Amino acid sequence: MKKHNFYAGPSILPQFTIENTSKAVLELNGAGLSIMEISHRSKEFQAIMDEATGLFVELLNIPDGYSVLFLGGGASTQFAMIPFNLFKKKAAYLNTGSWSKKAIKEGKIFGEVDVVASSEDKNFSYIPKNYTIPQDADYFHITTNNTIYGTEIRKDIDSPVPLVADMSSDIFSRRVDVSKYAIIYGGAQKNLAPAGVTFVIIKNDILGKVDRTIPTMLNYQTHIDKGSMFNTPPCLPVYAALQTLKWLRNMGGIPEMEKIDEKKAGMLYEEIERNSLFRCTVADKEDRSIMNVCFVMEEGREDLEKGFLEYATSKGMVGIKGHRSVGGFRASLYNALPVESVEALIGVMQEYEKKNA
């Protein structure tokens, strides 16, 4: 039976990426070697790195003065790298979930952190509005898509200080005005590649302003100067990322992807609202994530939760169990997930409603 992959991360990738990467594992285009056994210093791998970087610039319209890096360590290493490179006296953070909290924890190692607003009072089920970003902060950190809670900041915000964004789970799902950001980063395993590579888009002139000694590997300047090749980059995940970027370009780029993503999420949210068995955990429509749709059983129908999970699983749905801190269900609708999978999930929700009318 065909599986419908709703995992939150690592997660579904385009078939194009999986097939091309499989071929390159056997033999990289005429090189006579596998992508896994070729030197990162070879001209073949340099071309892969250059093309992947170039497609980031093209697809996201990254302006001059920025660098694109492919690093190891996951988004979680960025939580520490950001303050190491930018923190002087004080940093500001928006607390919208577990990933924000983890970033805040690392920031606090360096000194005063101003958490300008938090949605923790309602288990991160909304995006705080009406907060003030302190003018004297060295940077302001946000998590644009809260993978666990299904909330998303879909508009680029204006910040009086350098804006730093964790876009691990919504990169390439919407148009972004990169010029409004000092750093955009994320683990690639949500919407781009297998686990193992982290992308960082960084404005070059925000660096060089702190006095501390930064360990070489944690210094962005090291990686900018060496074109992400100071040390051995994650070659295979970078190759896979390049395939996804090519696929994305073939699909019509981000504007087209955004339309498809909005359509998929719109269909599922509509069904959750219509269906008498379910309700959405994020009340404010404006705050609802297009990538991770979280829902629970309607009040009074909680006893059906386990039954629905079993039924959906028996029908080929994979990875819809909600994160333990929210419960219920989460369907991740990343770029590579076909509309047919969303239709299949909706079908299963409707059948289950009929069975339990």
Ligand X SMILES: *Cc1c(COP(=O)(O)O)cnc(C)c1O
CB 278 within 8 A of CB 297: yes
Contact with ligand X (CB under 6 A): which of 5, 6, 7, 9?
A: 9
Burial of 73 (0-12, 13-18, 19+ CB in 10 A): middle
CB 334 within 8 A of CB 190: yes
**Per CB under 6 A, which of residues 63..82 are in contact with ligand X?**
74-76
From the candidates 2, 64, 156, 166, give the one annotated as an active-site residue: 166
Which residue, 168 or 244, is less far from ligand X as judged by CB?
A: 168
3-state SS of the chain: helix, strand, coil percent to 5?
Answer: 40, 15, 45
Q: Which residues of 231-244 are buried (b: 16+ CB within 10 A; e: fewer)?
A: eebbbbbbbbbbbb
Segment lying near ligand X (by CB under 6 A), choices 64-72, 166-174, 204-212, 266-274: 166-174
**Radius of gyration of the CA atoms of the chain, in A:** 21
Contact with ligand X (CB under 6 A): which of 6, 7, 99, 239?
A: 99
Binding residues for ligand X, rule CB under 6 A, total: 12
Which residue, 151 or 348, is less far from ligand X as judged by CB?
A: 151
Q: Token pair for residue 89?
A: 């006296």
| Smallest separation, CB 171 to ligand X (Å) | 10
| 166 among known catalytic residues | yes
| 190 among known catalytic residues | yes
Separation between Cα atoms, residue 115 and residue 121, nearest integer Å: 14
From the candidates 138, 190, 247, 321, give the one annotated as an active-site residue: 190
199 alpha-carbon distance from chain centroid: 10
- Alpha-helical (H) ranges within the chain are 15-26, 43-60, 74-86, 98-108, 220-225, 235-250, 253-274, 305-314, 339-355
| 211 among known catalytic residues | no
Question: Does residue 147 bind ligand X (CB under 6 A)?
Answer: yes
| Smallest separation, CB 135 to ligand X (Å) | 27
Segment lying near ligand X (by CB under 6 A), choices 19-27, 43-51, 55-63, 161-169: 161-169
Question: Does residue 187 bind ligand X (CB under 6 A)?
Answer: yes
Question: Does residue 184 bind ligand X (CB under 6 A)?
Answer: no
What positions carry a catalytic annotation? 99, 166, 190
- Return residues touching ligand X (CB under 6 A): 9, 74-76, 99, 143, 147, 166, 168-169, 187, 190
